[in-house]
Amino acid sequence: METWFVIIVTVCLAALIRAFFSVLKPRSKVPPGPGGLPIINSMKWLRRSSTEVEAALKSLRSKLGPILTLPLGGRPVIFICSSDLAHQALVQKGAIFADRPKPLPTFKIISSNQHSISSAGYGPVWRALRRNLTSQILHPSRVKDYSHARKWVLDILIAQFSSAASADPPVKVVDHFQFAMFCLLVLMCFGDKLEESKIREIEAVQRTLLLSFPHFQILNFWPSLTRVLLRNRWDELLSLRKKQVEVLTPLIRMRKDVAEVGLNESVTCYVDTLLKLGIQDDDSESKRKLTEEELVSDCSEFLNAGTDTTSTSLQWIMANLVKYPDIQAKLFQEIREVIGEESDEVQEENLSKMPYLKAVILEGLRRHPPGHFVLPHSVTQEVELGGYVVPQDAVINFAVAEIGWDPKVWVDPMEFRPERFLPAKGTDVSTEFDITGSREIKMMPFGAGRRICPGFGLAMLHLEYFVANLVWKFEWAGPDGHEVDLSEKQEFTVGFLSLTSPFSVFFLSQLKKVCCLTEAASNHPISGIKSVGNDDKPSQVDEDCLKLGALVEKGADFNEVYYRIILIFTRKKLPEDANIGA
């Protein structure tokens, strides 16, 4: 025990002495930050969540300006909080800001020492992996090949909502979103429609590792010491990684076997392209194939990146359509005008004719970006930005949410107002707003510059396709006395934010499948589903729907019936005399 005490005290004293002299040493004009000894600040900020960091950034920005430094994860991180500076860094000086920081010990384990697109440094490995994904999987022709998969997943989602209508206790809506997106990404990754039990197993492994990661952050603080003092926690991380490898490797080997015997007649999947890919390490002049562990890391990245961001955005957009039924009604009307009343489904080719749909999606991404920060960047050389010096190898991040909420850029930025994205008459939405930020950055839910999410186009397609069909298949509204709480709660260490208050889904009418979102009694941050009318006594909703049915029997036209549906959704009681034509 005495030996351990001496070791710990010695290490702490050495760190304090080093920190003391680093304060005394003359420094260039780096972005400002909170005062105090670096070692004390690092320990103070070590356990803060991204939500707490964001709150601190807001406070410090008002005092220090739009570029500042915080000590996070044992090293200083420079945060950029303005759209102009973000454009200068990511677009105008894109090559300098396109690197990744040296990986933390825990991250090296799950990324196979930075051999994935999101983790690789700005070099040949990153270029090869990204080029492979964009040309082989995200190319428009390949995306079109998977239209059948999106239809399959839509059917799964609608079937789950329908079967869950009578469920007790309530079922979380976002769980359905997440599982549907995960099914789609598993199919695109491994090329086969796996059994539900297998998909659930993969999902459980991925989610456990992702949600457990904050638990391992402390291991990055003096790793040589934590490997001794927190040995059990290191073993836990390695065990989770081992389980991930054990679950995904057989699927990778199966695709390899199929390719070797030449029996692969299905659409090319992501694993197929990775198996053919040759990469050149930074310290090598020759190319090699990816190892199995590297393949696991790349598949894991593909599954996580495509599932959580899309399902989180889908939840936020649907929640806003519940809160603002007039927006939902306007969107429904646009869909109806494009596909006609008799159509059962919105087809992908219909989406380009729906500017208001795209405006709703863009406003959802602006007002509620799925991640409030990007993955950390690093600079390849010392560079000037905003009047400050950014040192070589400095860790950089961008306040995505703050940039999208800037009152200097957006009028009433905290309001959900899709009309702000509507194009001028005779033009297309895509020509009105550049979500890539190439011309200027007004919002950056997918990042910007060289490190922009390569799948942003696919994500937009998924959001438009699923939102359009969910609005067409179901009516979503809030019952009387219940407001949708749009406050946010952190879900993952990477900064995804979900709804704080849950909401439930109810079927209200057989005239048209009608869904109704309301707050649930649970404290869980995700949505739920519950059926209406389980009690013996008819609810006000049931009585209103019976009156609505009477209107249909009397031959009321669609506009009259639809108007009464909106009255129900806004909780204005139907009159006793249900004869509209009277």
What's the full length of the chain, in residues?
582
269-285 core/surface letters (b: 16 or more CB in 10 A; e: else) = bbbbbbbebebeeeeee
Q: How many CA atoms lie within 13 A of 581 on its CB side?
A: 9
**Cα gap 516→505, rounded to integer Å:** 5
Using DSSP's 3-state secondary structure scheme, residue 462 falls into helix
**Cα gap 69→32, rounded to integer Å:** 6
Pinpoint the alpha helices (H) of 165-262.
Answer: 173-190, 196-212, 223-229, 231-261
Residue 383 DSSP code:
E
Is 451 in contact with 467 (CB distance < 8 Å)? no
Which H helix or E strand runs over 85? helix 83-87
Preceding omega of 169 cis (within 30 degrees of 0): yes
Give the chain's radius of gyration (CA, Å): 26
From 191, 211, 140, select the one nearest 299 (Cα to Cα): 191
193-225 core/surface letters (b: 16 or more CB in 10 A; e: else) = ebeeeebeebbebbbebbeebeebbbbbbeeee
Which H helix or E strand runs over 288? strand 288-289
- Residue 370 CA, chain-centre distance (Å), reads 4
The two three-digit tokens of residue 183, written as one number:
């099914």
Using DSSP's 3-state secondary structure scheme, residue 269 falls into coil
Beta-sheet strands, E only, within 318-411 = 377-378, 383-385, 388-390, 395-398
**Amino acid making up residue 81:** C
From 571, 543, 473, select the one nearest 513 (Cα to Cα): 473
33-48 core/surface letters (b: 16 or more CB in 10 A; e: else) = bbeeebbebbeebeee
Residue 572 DSSP code:
P
**Cα gap 336→348, rounded to integer Å:** 15
From 91, 83, 27, select the one nearest 408 (Cα to Cα): 83
The answer to whether the annotation marks 453 as part of a ligand binding site is: yes
**Cα gap 140→238, rounded to integer Å:** 38
Annotated binding site: 453
Annotated binding site for heme: 453
